[in-house]
Structure 1
Amino acid sequence: MSIISGTALDPVLYFKAGTLPVAQGSSFDLSVGHIYDSAGKEINGPFVLKPGAMVQVASAEVFNLPQDVTGHVTYKTGLTREGIWALTVGIVDPGWDGPIATTLLNFSRVDHMIHTGMPFLRVTLFQHGAVLTPRRAPPLDQYLREVQGLAAAHFPSTFLDSENIASKAADTVMEKMRNVGLAWFGATAILFAAIQVMAPPLSRAFDGLFPPASVTEMTAKLAALQARIDGLEAATASTRAAAAPAAQTAVVPEDSEVPASSAAPATGQ
């Protein structure tokens, strides 16, 4: 397999008359020929592609590939730099004799003008051994109707249809919250009913375990015990008070001096 380039890249050999693209050294630029909005309506004039929006387009060029040539379709890098991305690109099979279509997505933050004649894809051709069963395109009108029908039936106006997804997610969350709330409400009602039914028997059972006479007896014993503790604390306090004065009695030291008036009188000579 070899790439077709240079003087061999003659559009007359690979495209139908009246739709011939301009060669770019080793590839052809493909231009917008038909525009279909999300309602499937064909747009005859320029189409404003809003940020996040999508639109279906078909090429103005109609292929007429021989059985020994395959096309490889890629993005236009200039459009990609401006925020316009072609979602479906790939292979054009040998024998294909129709246009190609794709979805353009504006992933930039500004509006972008889409119009007929605007280059949007590029195709590189490769020559190889002839295939036994070439792939033919449906008639041009039928192919364009199919593209139009896909635009109306399968593609949202915005990428991933974020508004619809958010709405469905909110509905799902609310439905789950309602289901959980109903479940908790039911469980609470059952628990409340069980308490109402079981409260009287449980009350009677506890009354049997702790009869009033037993409770009164236990209360009296606790009061007597508290009185004994109070008496012991009072006796202890009295003993400590009586012992305190004895500890404070004075003692005269053995080496204290005797006053001069008490001394024996002197003996005369």
Structure 2
Amino acid sequence: MLIVGEEILNQSLLKDADRRHIKNSSYYLTIGAIIPVGKEANSFDFNKPLQMLVLKPRQVAWVVSKEVFSIKSHEITALVTLRSTFTKMGLLALDVGMVDPDFEGPIGSIVINFSKNDVPLNTGDEFFRVAFIKHAEVPAEFRTKRDQFTATQYIQERHRDIIVGFPETFLNTEILSDEMAAKISGKVADDVLDKLLMHLIKNHWGKLALIALIITTAVALLIYFLYSKFGPNLSQADVQAIVKTWVDQNFPKQLPSKP
């Protein structure tokens, strides 16, 4: 069963809630803090947080709700989704979903701009949509101790996460593009060499065979000369055996037919 309307306020499921944001069967959470990612994160001022951020294409930011959850019942779970207005504008929220019973604190999510347009984010914007679900009481053996955060503590935790592990743009495209270019150039070079070799074999196998014969003859003569001058006396059969072994090791037994 959904908890709707004034009951959301009466049961004190949200601190700093405003009835103006109750719409249909949901409550629309508003933006309380915007934490930038990248260079701006290093200069983020907790005493003077951003009031507005223009999210560029592929840019990443962390958005934190103004409202603070205070679900003290083990019979209530909240389901949070990104407001469809922002979804249609090309934003994706990575960390929204279920808010467990007995949770206290704001919620936040990394958001990515997948569109080709700038998307402005302002504190006070209705950003997340939450539905409160009434259900049977969660048995004690399945209850997990939930961390409790004030809004300030939560923002500090998320800011620390951003500094440690998030690039300014989705998938760090500058690094990925360099790596991809290097791989592509290497593959292109290998493909070109392979195609050139196959072209020579298929279309000029006669000339290649003649060249191979000339090289073989030259090598045989060289081997015969060296052994006659510096090596032990060799019979003609010995020379032929040496040449045959070299040919078998360095030339294919069959050449492809010309198409």
User: How would you bin the TM-score normalised by the shorter chain?
Assistant: 0.5 to 0.7
> What residue in structure 2 maps to residue 145 of structure 1?
156
> What residue in structure 2 maps to residue 5 of structure 1?
4
RMSD: 3.3
Sequence identity of aligned pairs in percent?
29
More strand by share: 2
Residues 109, 31 of structure 1: alpha-carbon distance in 2 compared, 3 angstrom cutoff: same
Gaps in structure 2 of 5+ consecutive residues? 191-215, 226-235, 238-259
Does structure 2 retain, via aligned residues, the 8 Å contact 1:49–1:112?
Answer: yes
**Does the alignment pair 1:202 with 2:202?**
no
Residues 200, 58 of structure 1: alpha-carbon distance in 2 compared, 3 angstrom cutoff: same
Q: 2:82 aligns with which of 75, 82, 94?
A: 75
Q: Pick the structure with greater CA Rg.
A: 1
- TM-score by structure 1 length? 0.61
| Aligned counterparts of 1:199 and 1:157: Cα–Cα separation in 2 | 65
Offset, 1:202 = 1.0
Residues 205, 13 of structure 1: alpha-carbon distance in 2 compared, 3 angstrom cutoff: closer
For these two proteins, the number of residue pairs brought into alignment is 192
3-state SS, counterpart of residue 115 of structure 2: coil
Residues 135, 59 of structure 1: alpha-carbon distance in 2 compared, 3 angstrom cutoff: farther
| Aligned counterparts of 2:10 and 2:57: Cα–Cα separation in 1 | 35
**Does the alignment pair 1:64 with 2:70?**
yes
Offset, 1:73 = 0.6
Offset, 1:103 = 1.3
- TM-score by structure 2 length? 0.63
**1:157-179 alpha-carbon deviations (Å, 9 max, x no partner):** 11222211111233455678999
1:173-252 equivalences under 5 Å are: 202-203=220-221
Does structure 2 retain, via aligned residues, the 8 Å contact 1:21–1:61?
Answer: no
Q: Which amino acid aligns with 1:202?
A: A
| Aligned counterparts of 1:204 and 1:98: Cα–Cα separation in 2 | 87
Residues 153, 176 of structure 1: alpha-carbon distance in 2 compared, 3 angstrom cutoff: farther
| Aligned counterparts of 1:99 and 1:27: Cα–Cα separation in 2 | 17
> What residue in structure 1 maps to residue 30 of structure 2?
31
**Does the alignment pair 1:159 with 2:134?**
no
**1:209-228 alpha-carbon deviations (Å, 9 max, x no partner):** 9xxxxxxxxxxxxxxxxxxx
| Aligned counterparts of 2:179 and 2:130: Cα–Cα separation in 1 | 40
Q: Which amino acid aligns with 2:181?
A: A
Q: Which amino acid aligns with 1:123?
A: V
**Does the alignment pair 1:136 with 2:133?**
no
> What residue in structure 2 maps to residue 48 of structure 1?
54
| Aligned counterparts of 1:29 and 1:201: Cα–Cα separation in 2 | 86
Residues 83, 178 of structure 1: alpha-carbon distance in 2 compared, 3 angstrom cutoff: closer
**1:90-149 alpha-carbon deviations (Å, 9 max, x no partner):** 100001110001012212222111111111110000011223335433332332222111
Gaps in structure 1 of 5+ consecutive residues? 180-197, 210-269
